Structures are given as C-alpha cells and as structure tokens.
C-alpha cells in the first residue's frame, strides 16, 4: 500500500494523476508525516538535479501556512465567470427566443442557401457541404454546430462569441478540466492574426462550400500532439 502511495506521489510530482487522485494525495501529504517528508525530499531532489537547490534544510512552508492560518484569510467563492446567455435572460424567455429564431431560420433556408444544413452533422459534413457554418448566421444558430463540434472530442462548450465580423471564438472544457479554444475564421485570416496563429496551437485550413474556413485549436494546458488528435475529430465521419 505504502509502495503504491509513494509511486503515486512521484506521479503527482510529474502531473500524471487525476484531479480526484490529487485530492487524495493532498490529504495524504497533510496527515501522513512520512508522505510529507517524502514529498519535500522529492521536490528537493528535483531542485538539486536542476541546480536550483540553495539550502537542503530550507522549509518556509510552515511559516507561510502559519501566517495564512493566523490571518484567517478566506477566499470568496465567486460564481463561475463563464458567460452564458441564460445569466441575462430568464430561461423560459430564452427558450421562446430560440424557438422563434429556429422557426425563422427554417423559413430563411431557401433565402440563405442553407438547405443542406443539419445541426447534428459533424464538422466534416458542415465543411464539405454548403455555407452552413456561416458568419451571417446569428450566434445562437451557430451554437448547435459548436456544441456538435465539441461532442466529437468530448468537449463541453463553455462560451462563444463573435470576435469580429469574420471570426468567432469558442471555449470548451474537457473531462480533465482542460480548456480548449477554437477560433473560426471565415473567408481569410487578418494579417494581424497570422503570426499569432503560427505560435498558438494547431491551425487547419478547410472549406465550407466554396468559401475558405480557417480553424485554430489551442490550449495552455494540453500538448500539441493532443491538439492534433482533437483537430482530427473535426473530420471524423
């Protein structure tokens, strides 16, 4: 049992355990002096290997925590800051608006040449069909597509917005609390944005009907190899 815990502590040091396991290990470090000492030594070992160890006996954690306990600092538990339209409108009002919007959208299909549109289609169908993922489509109309896009890689759509006339930005949360941002540029990418895209995540160039669409997938928390896997799901059948 101890052996397993020690190995898990080593995994915690490397960021290789789940959030649930993290909580368990935090409790273990707090209540088990052996585990706390081991955690301390593991970190000192890492610091020594990287030439960042200045004093083997250094431990300021007790004084930091004593200070925090004495000042009884409480952290206000703010509500999640994720933007959602239901924060601004009563739910029933929002639903009624969506129904009305959907009704008018159906009526406007022939006008907007959106007759191939189906919200349940995967992005491959969307990009290969006519202009369904459309800058002219109001945001709530694009939401179904964004939700559908996220379902391809088990990402929950947190929020989304039009960042300019020709671009929208959507934020997703994955199961492990990882955040992924997808930017969609209709037509072309502005000059100012080109350099940013080179340095940020994975960029895909595709088409919606005859119009070019550029997609950029980025995250501060996950590797590019995983971002590639996510971007591959956009084109799954």
Partner 1 sequence: MDNEIALIELVKKGDKKAYNTLVLKYQDRLVFSVYKFLKDFELAQDIAQEAFIKAYKNIEKFRGDSQFYTWIYRIAINTAKNVISTKARASEVYDNDTTDQLLSESATTSENPENILQAEQLRSEINKALQNLPEDIRVTLSLREFDGLSYEEISKVLNCPIGTVRSRIHKGREMLDQTFSKYNLSNFEAIKYE
**Residues that bind partner 1 in the complex, under the rule CB under 8 A:** 6-7, 10-19, 22-23, 25-27, 29-33, 36-69, 73-78, 176-179, 220-221, 223, 225
Q: 57 vs 107, which CB is nearer to partner 1?
A: 57
Q: 125 vs 181, which CB is nearer to partner 1?
A: 181
Q: Write the DSSP symbol of residue 134.
A: -
3-class secondary structure, 66: helix
Q: 23 vs 207, which CB is nearer to partner 1?
A: 23
Look at the block and give the residue holding tokens 């391809």.
152
Contacts 24+ apart (CB under 8 A), 79-85: 82/158, 82/159, 82/171, 83/159, 83/161, 84/159, 85/140
Closest contact distance (angstroms) between CB of 20 and partner 1 is: 8
Closest contact distance (angstroms) between CB of 184 and partner 1 is: 21
Closest contact distance (angstroms) between CB of 99 and partner 1 is: 36
Closest contact distance (angstroms) between CB of 159 and partner 1 is: 14
Measured in degrees and rounded to the nearest 5, phi and psi for residue 208 equal -120, 105
CA pair distance 214, 191, nearest whole angstrom = 13
Q: 53 vs 105, which CB is nearer to partner 1?
A: 53
């Amino acid at each position: 049992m101890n052996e397993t815990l020690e190995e898990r502590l080593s995994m915690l040091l490397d960021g290789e355990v789940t959030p649930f396991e993290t909580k368990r290990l935090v409790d273990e470090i707090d209540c088990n002096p052996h585990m706390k000492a081991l955690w301390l030594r593991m970190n000192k070992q890492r610091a020594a290997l990287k030439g960042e160890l200045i004093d083997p006996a250094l431990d300021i954690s007790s004084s930091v925590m004593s200070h925090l306990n004495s000042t009884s600092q409480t952290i206000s538990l703010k509500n999640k800051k994720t933007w959602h339209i239901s924060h601004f409108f009563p739910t029933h009002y929002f639903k009624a608006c969506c129904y009305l919007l959907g009704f008018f959208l159906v009526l406007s299909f022939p006008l907007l040449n959106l007759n191939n549109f189906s919200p349940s289609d995967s992005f491959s169908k969307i990009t290969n069909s006519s202009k369904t993922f459309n800058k002219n489509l109001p945001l709530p109309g694009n939401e179904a597509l964004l939700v559908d896009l996220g379902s391809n890689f088990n990402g929950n759509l947190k929020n989304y917005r039009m960042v300019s006339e020709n671009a929208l930005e959507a934020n997703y949360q994955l199961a492990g609390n990882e955040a992924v941002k997808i930017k969609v540029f209709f037509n072309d990418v502005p000059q100012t944005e080109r350099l940013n895209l080179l340095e940020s995540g994975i960029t895909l160039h595709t088409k919606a009907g005859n119009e070019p669409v550029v997609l950029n997938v980025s995250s501060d928390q996950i590797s590019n190899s995983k971002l590639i896997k996510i971007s591959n799901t956009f084109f799954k059948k």
